[in-house]
Amino acid sequence: MTDDCKKPANEETSSSSRRNFLKAAGGSAVAASVAAIAVPSLATDEESSPQANKKQYGMLIDTRKCIGCHSCSVACKAEFDVPLGATRSWVEYTEKGSYPNISRHFLPRLCNHCSTAPCVDVCPTEATYKREQDGIVVVDDGLCIGCKYCIQACPYDARFLNPLTGVVDKCDFCIHRVSKGLEPSCVNSCVGGARIFGDISDPDSEISRVMATNPVTVLRPGKGTEPNVYYIGADHSDEHENDRGWYDVRVTTHRRQKERR
């Protein structure tokens, strides 16, 4: 081979460097492509999991700390401009015994946000539904036709037809506050600290820890609604027990409906 046909040494070195660079760049491009495909795939799988961020909000009421001051009822009325004669949250007084051996107990009441909610089942327009992300039972004002089916179906008498709006109203755990990381208004205003609100599906939450170390009860468990409002030390005595004759029970509801449901 003549000297005219030989490539200069620096040209061979340059070509070799370009080939090595392209190989390296190609390998990096392939790796980047694989990473770009794999990482979003893993993130999507995690986000699409139905249990990823699912909660079940509930409330625990320690009646041993309740003093019957009605601050919860007043705070609820102020928060939602509840019309006179209607209640989203209320406190019942139960007086039991025969003079002079009389006792008085307080029982705060509200929507129980049941896991098996009969109000949801009977709603013809699906205006009442249970939120999948947190288990709160809500009413869609735009879909409610005021038929009152849900009012009749609720075993806790927690619903009413709002005369100002013409649609059904009830406690919604102050969802506008909870969504911002705040406590429901009734919890925030309780002077005795009788109410705890939180995610009962989280074993590390305050409400779960207190429930794990105290005996709790729910209202009307025989209805099979699986309420998410729990009580510590609640007196579930009812006026129907007066038929027993050995002591008297009187329940004051502080509502337009005088009889407990």
Convert the pLDDT of each residue in 110-135 to its tens digit.
999 999 999 999 999 999 999 999 99
| Residue 199 contacts residue 57 (beta carbons within 8 Å) | yes
Residue 96: φ, ψ to 5°: -140, 140
Residue range 211-238, pLDDT digits in tens: 999 999 999 999 999 999 999 999 999 8
Residue (of 251, 232, 196) closest to 58 by Cα position? 196
pTM exceeds cut of 0.85: no
Residue (of 69, 219, 241) closest to 156 by Cα position? 219
Mean pLDDT along residues 23-32: 43
**Unique residue bearing structure tokens 């990823």:** 52
Mean pLDDT along residues 27-32: 41
Checking if the pLDDT of 3 tops 90, the result is: no
R_g (Cα) of the chain, nearest Å: 31
Helix (H) or strand (E) holding 93: strand 90-98
Checking if the pLDDT of 250 tops 70, the result is: yes
Q: Read off the pLDDT band of 253 (50, 70, 90).
A: very high
Q: Read off the pLDDT band of 34 (50, 70, 90).
A: very low
Residue range 69-115, pLDDT digits in tens: 999 999 999 999 999 999 999 999 999 988 888 999 999 999 999 99
Q: What is the DSSP letter of 217?
A: B
Residue, of 185 and 3, whose pLDDT is higher:
185
Sheet with 195-199, edge to edge strand ranges: 195-199, 57-62, 229-232
Mean pLDDT along residues 55-82: 97
| Residue 135 contacts residue 115 (beta carbons within 8 Å) | yes
The per-residue pLDDT of the chain, averaged, comes to: 84
Checking if the pLDDT of 33 tops 50, the result is: no
